[in-house]
Chains A and B, each alone.
Chain A
């Protein structure tokens, strides 16, 4: 026969807990609580740092500059140092606003929105609550006219395709497989896709992506957040790096 003779502290839910069990559970409870704290600390400490990037949604202000809708909605504006800077434009959620630029493309405008910023990369989430874009009565600084693309040659790089809005600071972290579906929703909605590449010397670069000068179709989506090698034409558009690559030139790693 077995333990049935010796566990004299028979436990019934509705009766008082026997003293021996009480001591045991007190110790077990304390042990598990400390264990939970240690486990929480350990697991949290080993996380990959989420990267910089800020979006203060409350700080809504006006931005003046020249706007375009192709291939993506962008505003060329003056930064604090007085130099031209290109900010991508998005709605408040996961969508682009290119289709809503219309006849204002190429004109001087005032845009109301909040800034999403990571290093020198910036995006303005326009304030859809009100009239977020209007023509500016004062002409824009001539330096704000969108410059001609300057070809930098063909490149082949390994990296990850991500959505510019989250990576610029709408989410932290904003990379990798767990973020894939979110990136997919953003890009499907018209947020510009970006290619984040790292070379052997661990130098990294972020390029805005397009396909033959136009946004991609939905066939880009399965490649998001996966390690890929891309073969494409690199060019500089003012302060933006642009990678033009057809999906046929993507290779999953």
Chain B
């Protein structure tokens, strides 16, 4: 897969988003430190490093929980979609906060001795055969490595070079990281900090993420039509069903989804998968004559699936036809960038 990549440029929204995010992180960390000092009497305070370990640990858990809720929320209500497109920055920030947590733990608890801190992290508690005594540090370390892998490959360069499929697979491992993180907290901090508030927070975080994921998996807006071929062509539906500049998404059995767009009285069918990061083109719309991806705004000409000059992205196109006001699509994809003559909707239907 040798096509180039374009970095998504900074937009005013992204800048505002990052400003809010960093402000939120700062508010949490200062709030936690202030409340920790207020809650303890003089001479019985937390050492600053240990307080920061706790502040960053809890924050990383809360942020990862929030991140995992964004996907399902965006599928349930489009309002959250902008968060979805900017989830990366949240992810990278969460990794950095978790890294500070891990770094301080390694330095403080495993440093100041002549044993290598990383070795100490893995061997100083040998009770791998116990549940309540399990060395929870190793779980956190694996979760951190997963977050690192994701943060490191979050740049578009990797998306372009690994291909959207593999990239997505790598980034699905975040669910594994979350499971490890929940276990890390349950077998670690919660074994010592037994106040019910912590147990409730951990359990409700895990429950909300699971429930939202399940709910959106079952009820979210999937493809608009799941179609079986009739004489080799797929039935899309009445031309009147597609609003102007918008699309209907179909899912041919065992093949990539197809977005069928209407542009005025012309009907075009293209692959539903954006070359950038696999965004759902069929949820986008036609702007300035180009199909525009809802995720980061990559554009393609509907008639041949090519990005306008100077860009070079191409997506597959499909043949269409209209019989008795019903649109049909040939589910065999044409080579990316192949021009196709659009089918025309008769006046009556418009």
Contact = CB atoms under 8 A, between A and B. Distances in A.
B102 to A, nearest CB: 13
Q: Which 9 A-B pairs have the closest CB atoms?
A: A40-B31, A176-B192, A44-B35, A93-B112, A181-B124, A182-B109, A94-B113, A40-B32, A46-B195
Contacts of A139: none
A173 interface: yes
Nearest to B192: A176
B8 interface: yes
Interface of B: 8-9, 11-14, 16, 20, 23-25, 27-36, 38-41, 43-47, 50, 54-55, 58-59, 62, 78-79, 81-82, 85-86, 108-115, 120-121, 124-127, 133, 135-137, 187-189, 191-195, 197-198, 201, 221, 224, 241, 243, 246, 248, 283-285, 287, 292, 294-297
A171 B193 CA distance: 16
B62 to A, nearest CB: 7
A185 B46 contact: no
B39 to A, nearest CB: 5
A150 B319 CA distance: 98
A5 to B, nearest CB: 6
Interface residues of A, number: 60
Given A13-B11, A176-B192, A181-B110, A7 B50 contact: no
Given A47-B36, A171-B50, A14 B193 contact: no
Contact of B197 (A36, A46, A51, A93): A46
Nearest to B222: A2
B109 A36 contact: no
Interface string A1-37: 1111101001111111100010011000100110011
Contact of B297 (A12, A29, A39, A93): A12
B188 A185 contact: no
Contact of B12 (A3, A17, A32, A173): A17
A40 B28 contact: yes
Contact of A5 (B133, B192, B243): B243
Given A3-B221, A33-B23, A10 B294 contact: yes
Contact of B113 (A14, A16, A95, A179): A95
